[in-house]
Amino acid sequence: MSVSEYQQTTIQQFGGAWLRGDVSDIPPGQALLCLNSEFNQGQAQHRFGFAQFWNPNETITSMVNWIFQTTGVRANYLVYYNPSTGNMQVVRDLLSISPQTMYTQAGAVGASITSGGTFLFLATYDANGNGVGQCRVASQYVAALNTDIAFQGPLTAVPTVSNSGTGSVTAGIHNFGYILQTRNGFVGRISPVSGSTFVPVALNAAGGKQVSFSVTTTWPADANIVYPVMSTVNNPNRYFLVPGQSFLVPPGLSFTASFTIDITDADLASTGTDVTNNQLLFTQDTSGNGPFSPNFVAVYGPRTVYHTVIGSVPQAYASEPDNPQYITADQHVLYLPGFKAMSSSFSLNNIYYVLGPHWTYAFQDTGDTPVNWPSAQLIDGNIGTPSVHGTTVNSSRGFAWVCDVTGLYTFQGGRYSTLAVSYMVEPDWKRINWSGAAQTVQVVDNSDKRECMVFVPLDGATTPSHMMMFDYTDDITADKVKYSLWNIVSYNPGSGCIVQNPTTGLLELWIGKSSNGAVGRQMNSADGSPYADFSSSAINWQYETALLPGLNEHIGNIYHHYADQVRATGSGTLNATIYGLDRTKSVAWTPGVTLSNTPGGAYTKRYPRLRSESASIRFTMNVANQHVVLSALDHFYAPGPSFR
């Protein structure tokens, strides 16, 4: 009997796995199982494999592609954190790889690495999401890449001031000090200090004289420029930078900075920069202890926001615009109601959203000092994230992804999606080890391929064991995304980010291993053998259709299932097993189909009759460098007995 004489059900659009609910409720076109698959125009196919880009033999739990442009320098850097050594590493030339250590911070499990254009802000956190160590700022300084501790504190060295040659300094008592500017641009507190208090040097100017000013000290490692600071006679508590006076000092060396000051009080007050409030800056102390240990740093418009916990109180400090380290303890601090925890944040449409384990609040920059912004507004009292890297923004489409314990949500237009994007795959989402490894959960948006990747520790794992891939080409709603669970043999991906390939310019998903190993890049069709992981590991591709003939058939009717016809391309052997309802019966393709990239037609496979109310077809392929693209399926059956 020809297969054309049987009844048939056709699938021409292959969706992702739907794992929620009873299998009999899943419509044709969706899948009961989908492993290591990607989707393209309704096709289900092998995902592209990961190739070793280089092997640093390091553990990598956080990584960022830092791209910026300065005069004469276009940088395409890879920055990553290795918790085993505590080293923050940077690769400055991806074509000639030679990682250099930016700094070392032990005791952390991951890092917040945030680009602010030509500056990079780095913070580290422990397994509970608490900050470890001081914030660092990396910046390109001519040819050198410097990494400095943020919020450089004032110095104790006392300057020498005296009347000197003929000049125009106004007669009377002036107070003097100096300010250090670091090579990352931070203009800090006024020096000298005793303890934490600025102690100015007073001079009774003779009138008609200049003032000689000098200060000798071993300058900090990030020192760059010293400016003299001076008050007028009429207001000794108001301080100005002396116009036109600056001195380049050698970082890390003992040196004398000398100035000749010749200015009237009238000119000082009208042309000098008022730095009186610099005394209030939140900085290191004279021993080099930082003001706090941030667990993550974010960029909000022209401001930089540092999140931390001080005295068991979660708080954030939003800097002055375009002055990323200018914060004060009382004027730049933000809190959530009830001092709720702040786990992560994102900015969207000029709003700054702060998330805790089960809540989301919003702040809005009014242009005023942050303490005068409106109080945090509750956006959602149930949805948030416990993970530092549990959010990411798709800026081109204007929405964010948020990994809540209850599911993966999209946030757009000031609200969350009604259903979690992961709603249809809730059984897999519930496998995430939130209690033991929440800080290892990371979300990465590959906007070029429209794939959202969530790195997750499943089934008690303490480092990411799998990647949950949500293809949102059709839409970002729960019923439109296509889901597939990915894994790599003998490789647990500890982190990932989107990197611009230095040779092709393409945007690619790169991954680092959660134990010592290689950095991998996901290949594409231009690669020679793109269907194996790290050269030799097979990609365990599996795709099982929903129950066929489908949802419109009468419950209890028995059908005879005889054959399948598939339109597929690829290489290697495509195997399939046909399962009856409740999986009590099964029959396999014997042998499987030998695929071709130019088959010239569909493949037809007959098999011994399978009697069942419905049947699903599980396609499998698990051989390195073999692959399949599945584009259409006809399932052939005939009516059997009316009921069981």
- What are the structure tokens assigned to 328, written together? 């004060």
Please tell me the pTM assigned to this model: 0.95
Which amino acid does the sequence have at 602? Answer: A
Q: Residue 642 has what pLDDT?
A: 62
Q: Residue 553 has what pLDDT?
A: 64
Give me the residue spans of the domains in the chain: 3-47+540-639, 160-280, 296-387
Q: How far is CA 244 from CA 21, 26, 231, 263, 272, in A?
A: 73, 75, 16, 10, 9
Which amino acid does the sequence have at 572? Answer: G
- C-alpha–C-alpha distance, residues 57 and 560, integer Å: 55
- C-alpha–C-alpha distance, residues 403 and 388, integer Å: 10
Q: Residue 557 has what pLDDT?
A: 83
Q: Residue 552 has what pLDDT?
A: 65
Task: Report the top-level CATH class of 3-47+540-639.
Answer: mainly beta
User: Running along the chain, 644 residues long, what does each successive block of 10 average in pLDDT?
Assistant: 79 97 91 97 96 97 93 87 98 96 98 93 98 96 89 98 96 98 96 96 96 98 97 97 97 97 97 97 96 98 98 97 97 98 97 98 98 98 98 96 98 97 98 97 97 98 98 97 98 97 96 98 95 96 95 76 96 97 93 96 95 95 97 93 62
Give the DSSP letter string of 202-253: EEEE-SSEEEEEEEEEE--TTEEEEEEEEE-SS-TT-EEEPTT--EE--TTS
- What are the structure tokens assigned to 92, written together? 């400055």
- What are the structure tokens assigned to 373, written together? 């912004």
- C-alpha–C-alpha distance, residues 419 and 556, integer Å: 32
- C-alpha–C-alpha distance, residues 390 and 354, integer Å: 12
- C-alpha–C-alpha distance, residues 284 and 460, integer Å: 40
Q: In this structure, is the dihedral angle defined by the CA atoms of residues 412, 416, 422 and 423, taken in order, positive or negative?
A: negative
Burial 301-314 (b: 16+ CB within 10 A, else e): eebbbbbbbeeeeb
Of 328, 246, 241, nearest to 276 by C-alpha is 241
Burial of 269 (0-12, 13-18, 19+ CB in 10 A): middle
Burial of 194 (0-12, 13-18, 19+ CB in 10 A): exposed
Residue 60 carries which DSSP code?
-
- What are the structure tokens assigned to 133, written together? 């160590």
- What are the structure tokens assigned to 49, written together? 């494999």
Question: Which residue in the block uniquely carries the two structure tokens 């005889």?
Answer: 562
Q: Rounded to the nearest 5°, which phi and psi values hold at 437?
A: -150, 35
Cβ distance 22 to 39 under 8 Å?
no
CA triple 314-318-323, angle to 5 deg: 145
Task: Enumerate residues 6+ apart whose C-beta is below 8 A from 505.
Answer: none
- The upper half-sphere exposure of residue 190, i.e. CA atoms within 13 Å in the direction of its Cβ, equals 24
Distance of CA 615 to the CA centre of its chain: 42
Q: How far apart are the first and last CA of the chain?
A: 25
Q: Residue 3 has what pLDDT?
A: 67
Q: Residue 6 has what pLDDT?
A: 85
Q: Residue 546 has what pLDDT?
A: 96
